[in-house]
Structure 1
Amino acid sequence: MTKRRKPPLVAEKRYSRKKTAAKPARKSSKPKATPARAARTRSRRAAPKKRRGRNSGRPRGFLSRLLRFITAAVWGVTWRIGAVILLLIALGVGYFYTTLPEMTALLDGRARGSVTLLDEQGDVFAWRGDQFGGVVTAQSVSPHLKNAIIATEDRRFYRHFGISPRGIASAISINLSEGRGPFSGHGGSTLTQQTAKLLCLGDAYDPESGQTEAEYEAECRRGTLWRKIEEAGYAMAMEAKYTKDEILTIYMNRAFLGAGARGFEAAAERYFGKSASEVSPAEAAMLGGLLIAPSRFAPTNNLARAQNRANVIVGLMENQGYLTTAQAREARDNPAQLSKAASDRAGGYFADWVMASGPEFFTRNTTEDVIIRTTLDRRLQKAAEDAMQYVFENKVREGSKAQAAIVVMTKDGAVRAMVGGRETKVAGAFNRATQASRQTGSAFKPFVYAAALELGHSPYATVVDEPFCMDIPGSGRWCPRNYSHRHHGRVTLVQALKDSLNVPAVKVSEDVGRELVRKVASDFGIDSDLAAGPALALGTSESTLIEMTGAFAGILNGGSSVTPYGLTELRLLGEDKPLMGLAGGIGERVIRTEAAQELIWMMEKVVSDGTGRRAAIPGWQAAGKTGTSQAARDAWFIGFTADYVAGVWMGYDDNTPLSGVTGGGLPAEIWRETMVRVHEGLAPKPLPMREPAGAPQPQPQPQYQQPRRPAPQGGGRGLGAVVDQVLRDIFGG
């Protein structure tokens, strides 16, 4: 049997020349490798193998995850809070937007009106109340003024949306660096925010609330964080409601600029006597400088300080391109100057008196803008002020606290000048001419002799000057004495008045009747309570200087009473028809014209040959009366020429006795200095006086009289006359 040969074992060819159908690939459970993953795999394989610890890399991964978590949490809280804040701001802005009125309703926000006072020539000399010169706009004012405001307050005004985050951050940084709270001191407020503050966020002042205007304004200026947030919302609402120029217009009309001026038109009129549309770069810079501290930098308070502040503003305007180098140099070389009315600051006491004596609803508490024309004569006012200053600088010892007051009027009671104290450039100060009631002393005696003349007594009638006593029920024995402690025997009434003898004055008063004396004085305008006892004749009653001067004006005008007045016309701003006219003038007749003329003749002897010789005016006839109260606490001289009546009082506010001063001394000298200046350039006129008929015959001198020694020949004054004058100067008359 044949065995079959097995075929040799041959390995299969790996690659076949013939293409065969590919078998389906087995599905793998692993994901298909991406190029990036493959690259990482190759990198790991190529890197040398290291032995890794079990926990290697875990802390770093944990911290990374924690940081991402915290960041996400903070961001989540932050954007939610920010969204809430933005929503609240939007709601606040929307609310404030709905409350904003038309721009024109916000231009004049004063709680009270203004009073502008004109002198007798119609020129402005004083302002009272909140002065508002009228509406100005960003287009109507001088471009220099507009630029000064922008340069000073908010140079990015036309670029922000009502608030300036950069400015707020800068202000907080400065406040903290200076040791203050973040919102104390520099505010970083934009001009829009300042306007919002001026508007008090829309809360108008209500006088019925019981809150004062100062308290209201302090409330509006609160600097708390919540108030700042409200202020920002209101500012952005204004930016949405009004144009930039409208916001600037509101600001320019409502800003307080010192000296009672509200708005730039009022300030320009107040300080420079011109409209805000006419101010120069130097004047605009001074007005812009007021915004930071109106009272401190007001030029009426300190012109040099205001000019220095203006130079700073000029520098800002130059740096920001609002002024050329030449314009800036011109502004610095020629700083702004006050108008004559503003620099004089004349008649402050007079203006206060007119305000106090006028109708309250048109003066002190007016809600309207009022124009008052007055009797003030600026030339005479300056004369009185200069006279006061001259005497106190040259005749009063240095350091003296004594005060004085002056009133000048015409014979119908029109007050032409008034000085209520040594400080003349004041407003709202205590006015000693109208508010100080003081004993009149012998200045009251003309009313005693007026009563006697009215009854028909002659100035040559006689009375015995001798030691004299009276029994006063309830008071005991009273013995008046002359200041010189000397008696002159039988004297005429004219001698008794010119030498200011007390005993004859009391005797005459008792003879004609105290009630008549009291009536004559009261009818002439002495409204104060008059003493009931015999000391009435010696001026123990109190009166004010303006009352006494007005009473003497009644003597000059022929015996008719006068009511001193300063107001001649009152009208509302913008209206031609006055609401009221003269507030005083000549009233009822008190004594006969003949009696008044004889009394003037007697009072002329006081100045020409009596206790008032120091008041004599060269070339003019003058009449008057000295007065010194008990213990020399008050010294007076009141007198007149044919044209003017003037009164002077001197004393201490605390009633301290004067040292070596009587009515015939310093008050007479102040009166003379005043009247010399008042009559400068006027032609002398004679007094309307009448010398009585029948000169008296010389009377024998009683034994108790101490006669004067005759004066030596040649016009000199003897020792007796000198001693007599010294005694009068010491004890008064």
Structure 2
Amino acid sequence: MSNSGRKKPPLVADRRYPKQAKKPAAKPKAAAKAKPAARTRKPARKRNPIVALFLGLFGLIFRVLWGFGWRVGLITTLIIAAAVGYTAYTLPPVDHLYDGRARGSVTLLNAQGKVFAWRGDQFGGVVTAQNVSPHLRNAVVATEDKRFYNHFGVSPRGIASAVRINLSEGRGPLSGHGGSTITQQVAKLICLGVPYDPKTWKNEAAYEADCRESSLWRKAKEAVYALAMEAKYSKDDILTVYLNRAFLGAGSRGFEAAAQRYFGKDASDLNAPEAAMLAGLLKAPTRYAPTNNLERAQARAETVLKLMHEQGYLSDTAHAAAVANPATLSEAAQKKQGGYFADWVMTEGPGFFTKDTTEDVIIRTTLDPRIQVAAEQAMRQIFDEKVRDGSEAQAAIVVMSADGAVRAMVGGRKTRVSGEFNRATQAKRQTGSAFKPFVYAAALDLGRSPLDVIDDAPYCVNIRGSGEWCPKNYDKKFHGPVTLTDALKSSLNIPAVKLAQQSGLDVVRTVAEQFGIESDLAQGPALALGASEASLLEMTGAYAGILNGGSSVTPYGMTELKLLGDDTPVFQADSGIGERVIQEKTAKQLIWMMNKVVTEGTGRRAALADRQVAGKTGTSQSARDAWFLGFTADYVTGVWMGYDDNTPLKGVTGSGLPAEIWHETMQRVHAGTPVHDLPMMAPIPPTRSAPVIPQGQPPKISSEARTRDAVNDALNGLRNFENR
């Protein structure tokens, strides 16, 4: 049936919250809709608990260390930065670092005004990285620090490489190769800014040893200082300091001084081979110094040239040309003359201007290079020709003018040296019969004649506290009555002792001392036979006093001393002549007697064919020393020969090899020079036979004695004679 006509139900709003419908009954599981199957996983592998423990500990330690490490690193970096900043702030202006010498230099000029030697720390003047030869700048960088313009002062790669090389060569990591950059080397050269203080260090060597310390702490400080320098100065500034401060051997501080020392030119004018040789000195200045071994220096320079070529500083052509034409020394450096003489001058001058100078000093000397060469060649020839191979015998030569100006000095067989023991000035040796001219000078000055006769017969003297002493002649014979001239030319001992006794030992001693023998003289009669010791320089100076007419001389080698840059000399000298010792007539007669020694007596081997010579041989007890001293009208020369340890010479006396060395020296010295006669005077022969002076007869005192002192000394001798 239809519902039309029925009443429609009223409209009712849906409930806001409808009643919760009852949940339908759960379907059985089997009837439930099947879910997709879950993805199956492999069961987790259990880790070994021990391994897990170690991994956990490692992770923990790593996290702790990392946290601690980056904090420490940050703090360390800040500390280093602060240290670098502070050091950079305290660094002085760069031009204050160029010349850091604690002492000055001495340049020695010969008599012609040419440089022949240097002493002290030679500083040739400031050079810069811009004005030196480009070859020099390139050679230094190529050799010492090829990454110089690219690093920040320290090269970790260079340090690591150096440590590896040191360890591979069996040394400590910091021993040997340093891996230092040029900047670090500059820090070391300026000793980290600590100046030399004589109150702190014993000497400069101790100061420099401290500066070169290679401990880890020192290296760290050097690194900080290098970083500070890089922060404050430019690369060229640092290189400039290096070029001026580096030690390059032979007392040269800086490349300008070295260029002048070895090549006689400015550092700005060096060619590639010369620059390479100087740069090669940086490795070992003394070993590679060309004045010590030119071939070794050239080989080192070739290594430097190779480095320059490999790093592009030299083309193939330029490198080949440089290798084919190695650097050679200047004429002055090649000669290297007068080392013994230079050392002597340095000890004779005032210390504050010589060995201890803080200024740059120029000293003009009396050295004659021609005469120096003559003496060196003469010694070399005699030893080469007449001394057995392997002999350790030594010799010394001094040549001087009659006023005491020393013209040449050889202090030993090694002639091209410096700082060696100088046998011409430092050795005190028994003079033997070379002392006898002073005995005869005293007698002649008291009125005796060269023609007076004395008896060469057995003779003994009682010496208080020693007993009887009986001198013997060298030939063990007695010759009877002889003139004083014959006694001297034959070097008879007994007449010399008698004559000294008769004149008075005090008189003889006074004459020798006034002539310049400063060493202690023997008190007994053996004085007459040269029992005393003296240096060759003293003896040669004393003989110069005989040649100049009887006045004492002080041997001298310095004629002028000036400070560098000053025109006014601080010191000048033109003669060493002092007070008169014996009369001029006495000196001339003594020269006549000494001429007979060479023409007729023991000194015949010293004779020169073209001019007159006077001299005297000398052989000490047991032939430990052999001497010949003599002169022409122009020069006085002394020669000594012996062993440093006083070993007796075998078959050598003063009349042998020393006389031959003297002859060879003087022959070369006088080559091509005018001939002059000796200032000698022959005695007037007596009108009747000269009486023989009996043994023991007291001497007669001449009214012609030179001074009151000499007369008083003679009277004292008489009183001593009367008291015996």
Residue number among 143, 147, 155 corresponding to 2:146 in the alignment? 155
Equivalent pair of 2:451/2:690 in contact (CA under 8 Å): no
Equivalent pair of 1:496/1:505 in contact (CA under 8 Å): yes
Equivalent pair of 1:445/1:497 in contact (CA under 8 Å): yes
TM-superposed deviation, 1:47: 9.3
Tell me whether 1:504 sits opposite 2:495 in the alignment: yes
TM-superposed deviation, 1:465: 1.1
Residue number among 185, 188, 194 corresponding to 1:197 in the alignment? 188
Matching residue of 2:303: 312
Tell me whether 1:466 sits opposite 2:457 in the alignment: yes
Matching of residues 652-671 of structure 1 within 5 Å: 652-671=643-662
Q: Secondary structure at the match of 2:108?
A: strand
Question: TM-score, normalised to structure 1's length?
Answer: 0.87
Residue number among 503, 514, 522 corresponding to 2:513 in the alignment? 522
Matching residue of 2:8: none
Measured in 1, the distance between the counterparts of 2:483 and 2:384 equals 40
Amino acid at match of 1:134: G
Matching residue of 1:96: 87
Matching residue of 1:18: none
Residue number among 310, 329, 332 corresponding to 2:323 in the alignment? 332
The 3 A distance-change label for structure 1 pair 474 and 279 is same
Amino acid at match of 1:255: A
Equivalent pair of 1:565/1:583 in contact (CA under 8 Å): no
Measured in 2, the distance between the counterparts of 1:505 and 1:653 equals 29
Tell me whether 1:287 sits opposite 2:278 in the alignment: yes
Residue number among 463, 466, 481 corresponding to 2:472 in the alignment? 481
TM-superposed deviation, 1:623: 0.4
Residue number among 675, 679, 682 corresponding to 1:691 in the alignment? 682
TM-superposed deviation, 1:391: 0.7
Tell me whether 1:228 sits opposite 2:214 in the alignment: no
TM-superposed deviation, 1:74: 4.5
Amino acid at match of 2:116: F
Matching residue of 1:254: 245
Q: Secondary structure at the match of 2:616?
A: strand
Matching residue of 2:394: 403
Q: Secondary structure at the match of 1:207?
A: coil
Amino acid at match of 1:195: V
Matching residue of 1:322: 313
Measured in 2, the distance between the counterparts of 1:102 and 1:394 equals 62
Measured in 2, the distance between the counterparts of 1:251 and 1:355 equals 30
Equivalent pair of 1:539/1:629 in contact (CA under 8 Å): yes
Tell me whether 1:50 sits opposite 2:40 in the alignment: yes
The 3 A distance-change label for structure 1 pair 57 and 505 is closer
Residue number among 567, 574, 580 corresponding to 2:571 in the alignment? 580
Amino acid at match of 1:49: R
Gaps of 5+ in 2: 4-16, 18-34, 694-724
Q: Deviations over 1:389-441 (max 9, x none)?
A: 11111111222111111000000000000011111111111111111111111
TM-superposed deviation, 1:49: 3.4
Matching residue of 1:555: 546
TM-superposed deviation, 1:186: 2.0
TM-superposed deviation, 1:609: 0.7
Tell me whether 1:373 sits opposite 2:364 in the alignment: yes
The 3 A distance-change label for structure 1 pair 374 and 66 is same
Instruction: Using the TM superposition, name which of 485-494 and 54-63 deviates more.
Output: 54-63
Q: Deviations over 1:97-143 (max 9, x none)?
A: 12210111111111111111110011111111111111111112111
Measured in 1, the distance between the counterparts of 2:686 and 2:407 equals 38
Matching residue of 2:32: none
Instruction: Using the TM superposition, name which of 576-585 and 309-318 deviates more.
Output: 576-585
Residue number among 528, 533, 544 corresponding to 1:542 in the alignment? 533
Equivalent pair of 1:112/1:366 in contact (CA under 8 Å): yes
Equivalent pair of 1:464/1:490 in contact (CA under 8 Å): yes
Matching of residues 8-19 of structure 1 within 5 Å: none
Measured in 1, the distance between the counterparts of 2:291 and 2:359 equals 25
Equivalent pair of 1:460/1:696 in contact (CA under 8 Å): no
Amino acid at match of 2:366: T
Matching residue of 2:197: 206
Matching residue of 2:434: 443
Measured in 2, the distance between the counterparts of 1:648 and 1:667 equals 6
Equivalent pair of 1:383/1:678 in contact (CA under 8 Å): yes
Residue number among 412, 419, 425 corresponding to 2:403 in the alignment? 412
Tell me whether 1:245 sits opposite 2:254 in the alignment: no
The 3 A distance-change label for structure 1 pair 632 and 63 is closer
The 3 A distance-change label for structure 1 pair 611 and 224 is same
The 3 A distance-change label for structure 1 pair 523 and 152 is same
Matching of residues 540-689 of structure 1 within 5 Å: 540-582=531-573, 585-689=576-680
Tell me whether 1:455 sits opposite 2:456 in the alignment: no
The 3 A distance-change label for structure 1 pair 51 and 168 is closer
The 3 A distance-change label for structure 1 pair 148 and 52 is closer
Amino acid at match of 2:312: G
Q: Secondary structure at the match of 1:127?
A: strand
TM-superposed deviation, 1:537: 1.1
Total equivalences in the alignment: 663
TM-superposed deviation, 1:368: 0.9
The 3 A distance-change label for structure 1 pair 54 and 124 is closer
Equivalent pair of 1:490/1:699 in contact (CA under 8 Å): no
Equivalent pair of 1:119/1:375 in contact (CA under 8 Å): yes
Amino acid at match of 1:671: W
TM-superposed deviation, 1:546: 0.5
Matching residue of 1:78: 69
RMSD: 2.5
TM-superposed deviation, 1:364: 1.2
Measured in 1, the distance between the counterparts of 2:46 and 2:96 equals 76
Question: TM-score, normalised to structure 2's length?
Answer: 0.88
Q: Deviations over 1:217-260 (max 9, x none)?
A: 12212222222221111111101111111101111111111111
Equivalent pair of 1:253/1:263 in contact (CA under 8 Å): yes
Equivalent pair of 2:453/2:691 in contact (CA under 8 Å): no
Measured in 2, the distance between the counterparts of 1:88 and 1:160 equals 21
Tell me whether 1:108 sits opposite 2:81 in the alignment: no
Q: Secondary structure at the match of 1:297?
A: coil
Amino acid at match of 1:80: R
User: Identity, % of aligned pairs?
Assistant: 65
Equivalent pair of 1:439/1:541 in contact (CA under 8 Å): yes
